Structure 1
Amino acid sequence: MTAESPRPIGVAVLGMGNVGAEVVRILTENADDLRSRVGAPVELRGVSVRDLSRPRSGVPSALLTDDPAALVARDDVDIVVELIGGIEPPRTLIRTALQSGKSVVTANKALMAVHSGELSDAAATSNVDLYFEAAVAGAIPVIRPLTQSLAGDRVTRVAGIVNGTTNFILSEMDETGADYADVLAEAGRLGYAEADPTADVEGHDAAAKAAILASIAFHSRVTASDVYCEGISSITSDDLAAAKKFDCTVKLLAICERIEADGVEKISARVYPALIPFEHPLATVNGAFNAVVVEAENAGRLMFYGQGAGGAPTASAVLGDLVMAARNRVYSGRGPLESTYASLPIAPIDDVPTRYYVSMQVADKPGVLEQVAAEFAKRDVSIAAVRQEGAGENARLIVVTHRASDRDQSETVAAIEKMDSVIKVSSVLRLEGTND
């Protein structure tokens, strides 16, 4: 007498772009391996696409549909993989799936950065899984280590390079000395930048990922609107050249950390271009690669590095979630619930202590440095280093400060801009990755 064969796990894939096509390919090609890992067959029930007239290699036409809602509603679908992107219709489709008792895997960072609370509640109510490892840093495992491996530790800081487009642009500018506009155009030609790169270069993509990381790391709900955000469009080749003289490079960083403000523990979540020293592990992350550094009280510093985007790498993360969700269906388990017990408040950027790099074009005459230094001193902002370059109309003064509140630093820069001896404040960047 043989044991009864386990019931197959039915999967619906919503969206067949670069990532969706790779997910379907892996599901098909690795069916036997996936069955062994899950404990039951994992069967593709259907794939929703926008245009049924387009040929889709490797997918039988009978599996294609342009009605995602009907696909989600099918009784033989146990897990929905959402790869459409954007807020709607994914929000409605995912919520419907969860409320119907189906587990969901998504790579949708924009949605999870805004509506993770609502969707997590729906998953908890129905006792099903909601996984989203692929929403942050592509193939790099970050979400699962935070929710599981470090569940017994206290995470104090998460910082990283989580957008490949901006990292490619800054790396190329640093290596070649080319201007921002030229490298952005090259990124588009190579496929690293979208036709409309605004979400990437203005930091919105990284901010969505920062919201997700902060929510998980600090057991509090953080949305994209809570994240302070600056992009890289104002960065010049001169900034990168000047950074080298201070043994630094410039990276777009997503930083989430616990800080104390007014005697209260708060969350700081922010995205901006910043100088980081050459010896910092993130300084060597170049091209379209991503990296995230997690700091915890007992585990210390951990770094996760790899390809942060692309069809196959992101599909790898999606399949990892899919296997976990499928196993839970087979063995009547479920993954970790959303944890928001801490409910820490969000610190405004003014309260965040940072260091500053300020580059200014100044009048070439005696006493300018003393006047500039006096403005910093008025607000108790300590100067760590000063560099003077050029002469005449090309005279430039660069000031690097010690750590002070962002409010005091910003007020100092605003006062300097009004000085008669300062022709122009050409660049203001923060400096991260030091203990000063």
Structure 2
Amino acid sequence: MMRTRPLKVALLGCGVVGSEVARIMTTHADDLAARIGAPVELVGVAVRRPDRVREGIDPALVTTDATALVKRGDLDIVVEVIGGIEPARTLIGTAFEHGASVVSANKALLAQDGAALHAAAEEQGRDLYYEAAVAGAILLIRPLRESLAGDKVNRVLGIVNGTTNFILDKMDSTGAGYQEALDEATALGYAEADPTADVEGFDAAAKAAILAGIAFHTRVGLDDVYREGMTEVTAADFASAKEMGCTIKLLAICERAGDGASVTARVHPAMIPLSHPLASVRGAYNAVFVESDASGQLMFYGPGAGGAPTASAVLGDLVAVGRNRISGTTGPGASAYAALPVSPMGEVVTRYHISLDVADKPGVLAQVATVFAEHGVSIDTVRQQGKDGEASLVVVTHRASDAALGGTVDALRKLDTVRGVASIMRVEGE
């Protein structure tokens, strides 16, 4: 039966996502009430600029005092979509202390302080849900946390940033250079005026930390994630990738080590075969590929950002938390029982594509091959082109540790016959 007393909801932030959350709460009020089992009432909206016109929101609900709003004491749910570390962290903690559960889309905060936030929620007997923090509307957190709770996840491999995927897809499909593709992404609104968080991998690294922690039941922080941006990817790299039957994507990769006794989390550009499902993810879309013991291979695909898609994930959490609130229960909290160590990047094992500028003279290939052999890195294929005393040498290796590859590259740079290391690209998804 429908409960007559409404669930009181406060909204922290009313930007692109927050305004969509408020709109859907209003336009779908009857449906939300039917699904939750009680009406939902928006009782306050905290913003920084109160004078801005917000269509569909009663001005009487708008406040600049977010602290006073979360301290009301009669709130059931606080929706946090302001982003960043502070004041979001303090406001969420205050909301727990004053009796509210929290729905958040704050990937940066959850990656940095997820363990402390979960502990605070558990101490107060409240929910902390954050489906919208990773991959927008794509249902990913809940399947990992609930649907696959009885399975053993071994690997999570994904495109979790739409801006970078748009840029790399444009470079691949048109032959454009990095800056040209970035300029188009900015003009179309896919890239921010300052795209650093996206193109340098910070956004994807935060998401990787969240995904690894949930998938492997282990606390993984942002500092545990190896991060490498994509600003050095060139049209020549794409040309080499095509010759190998590959394309290039900025990937978040979370996986168990070979013996299962540790985990790794990393973000970097990588070549993947065109036959891999992630290779066909185009434009600003996201996709995450999950490999587990019982379920095998699963792929989650869809829009990874934007006001309406992200708001959809927020509202899905609001329904779940609302149901828990009515029944007097809480949903699943943090699961870190496995407590697996996070291995350093040097222990990661994969294949590599290395492009070298070398002198075009006899014996160079033998010298290069000797360096690889001395560092225990086995060569799979070599391709060489030369003209007028200069040559390019492309080496693709068998699987080797990142530390071994790093030592190899350092030694190659010391050879008189190697003019420079043009690019190093990991090869994944095989």
Q: Structure 2 matches for 1:389-428, cutoff 5 A?
A: 389-392=385-388, 395-428=391-424
> Structure 1 CA distance, aligned partners of 2:300 and 2:2?
42
Question: What is the deviation of 1:394?
Answer: 5.0
Query: Normalising to structure 2: TM-score of the pair?
Result: 0.98
Would you say 1:26 and 2:24 are equivalent positions?
Answer: yes
Structure 2 CA distance, aligned partners of 1:278 and 1:393? 34
Deviation at 1:112, TM superposition (A): 0.1
Aligned to 2:306: 310
Q: Distance in 2 between matches of 1:41 and 1:74?
A: 19
> Counterparts of 1:18-167 in structure 2 under 5 Å?
18-167=16-165
Give the equivalent residue in structure 1 for 2:191.
Answer: 193
Q: Which amino acid aligns with 2:322?
A: A
Partner letter of residue 257 of structure 2?
I
Counterpart of 1:328 (choices 324, 327, 338) is: 324
- Residue 392 of structure 1 and its aligned partner are, at CA, apart by 2.4
Map of 1:174-213 to 2, 5 A cutoff?
174-213=172-211
* Distance in 2 (alpha carbons) for counterparts of 1:15 and 1:150: 32
1:379 aligns with 2:388: no
Rate the CA distance shift 1:171–1:393 in 2: closer, same or farther, 3 A.
farther
Please give the alpha-carbon distance, in whole angstroms, between the structure 1 residues aligned to 2:240 and 2:336. Answer: 42
Q: In structure 2, how many angstroms separate the alpha carbons of the residues matched to 1:207 and 1:382?
A: 30
Contact 1:45–1:76 (CA under 8 A) maintained in structure 2: no
Report the alpha carbon displacement of residue 246 of structure 1 after superposing the two structures with TM: 0.5
Contact 2:264–2:348 at 8 Å: present in 1 too? Answer: yes
Number of corresponding residues:
430
Residue 75 of structure 1 deviates from its aligned partner by: 2.9
Shift of 1:414: 1.1
In the alignment, residue 242 of structure 1 is paired with which amino acid? S
Contact 1:158 1:256 in 2 (8 A): yes
- Which piece of structure 1 moves more, 95-104 or 218-227? 95-104
Q: Judge conservation of contact 1:162–1:209 (CA < 8 Å) in 2.
A: yes
Q: Report the more deviating stretch, 32-41 or 185-194.
A: 185-194
Contact 2:252 2:268 in 1 (8 A): yes
Separation (CA, whole Å) in 2 of partners of 1:239 and 1:397: 13
Which whole-Å CA distance do the structure 1 matches of 2:45 and 2:285 have between them? 30
TM-aligned CA deviation for residue 389 of structure 1: 2.5
Structure 2 Cα separation of the partners of residues 139 and 4 of structure 1:
28
Any idea what SS the aligned residue of 2:109 has?
helix
- 8 Å CA contact 1:220, 1:341 repeated in 2: yes
Q: Residues 139 and 313 of structure 2 are in contact (CA less than 8 Å); yes or no, is this contact kept in structure 1?
A: yes
SS of 2:257's partner is strand
Shift of residue 301, structure 1, vs aligned partner: 0.6
The amino acid that maps onto 2:148 is: L
Residues 276-310 of structure 1 show CA distances to partners (whole Å, capped at 9, x for unaligned) of: 01001111111100000111111101000000000
How much has 1:6 moved relative to structure 2? 3.0
CA distance in 2, matches of 1:264, 1:50: 47
- Rounded Cα–Cα distance in structure 2 between residues aligned with 1:92 and 1:204: 22
8 Å Cα contact 2:73-2:99 kept in structure 1:
no
Indicate if the aligned counterparts of 1:363 and 1:392 stay in contact, CA closer than 8 A: no
Structure 1 unmatched runs, 5+: none
When structure 1 is superposed on structure 2, of 407-416 and 82-91 the one drifting more is 407-416
2:254 match: secondary structure: strand
Please give the per-residue CA displacement for 1:100-158, whole angstroms capped at 9, x wherever unaligned: 22100000000000111111001111111000010000000110000100000111111
C-alpha displacement of 1:264: 7.2
Q: What's the secondary structure of 1:395's corresponding residue?
A: strand
Identity of aligned residues (%): 61
Per the TM alignment, residue 5 of structure 1 is displaced from its structure 2 partner at its CA by: 4.2
Residue of structure 2 in register with 1:277 after alignment: 273
Q: In 2, are the aligned partners of 1:9 and 1:78 still within 8 Å (CA)? A: yes
One-letter amino acid of the structure 1 residue matched with residue 338 of structure 2: A
1-structure distance, mates of 2:165, 2:390: 30
Q: What amino acid is aligned across from residue 36 of structure 2 in structure 1?
A: V
Structure 1 segments, 4+ long, off by >4 Å, are none
Contact 2:157 2:290 in 1 (8 A): yes
Counterpart of 1:362 in structure 2: which amino acid? V
Q: 1:270 to 1:5 in 2, by over 3 A?
A: closer
Query: What runs of 5+ residues in structure 2 fail to find an aligned partner?
Result: none
Q: Is the 8 A contact 2:74 2:99 kept in 1?
A: no
Residue aligning to 2:339 = 343
**Do 2:73 and 2:98's aligned partners in 1 also have CA atoms closer than 8 Å?**
no
- The alignment yields a C-alpha RMSD, in angstroms, of 1.2
| Contact in 2 for aligned 1:417/1:425 (Cα 8 Å) | yes
Structure 1 residue 185: Cα displacement: 1.4
Deviation at 1:346, TM superposition (A): 0.8
Distance 2:358 2:416 in 1: 9
* Rounded Cα–Cα distance in structure 2 between residues aligned with 1:407 and 1:138: 35
CA distance in structure 1 between the aligned counterparts of 2:173 and 2:394, rounded to whole angstroms: 22
Q: In structure 1, what residue type is equivalent to 2:395?
A: V
Q: Distance in 2 between matches of 1:257 and 1:340?
A: 16
The residue number in structure 2 matching 1:254 is 252
- Do structure 1's residue 362 and structure 2's residue 358 form an aligned pair? yes
> Retained in 2: the 8 A contact 1:159–1:293?
yes
SS of alignment partner, residue 331 of structure 2: coil
Report how far residue 393 of structure 1 moved. Answer: 5.2
How much does 1:330 deviate? Answer: 1.1
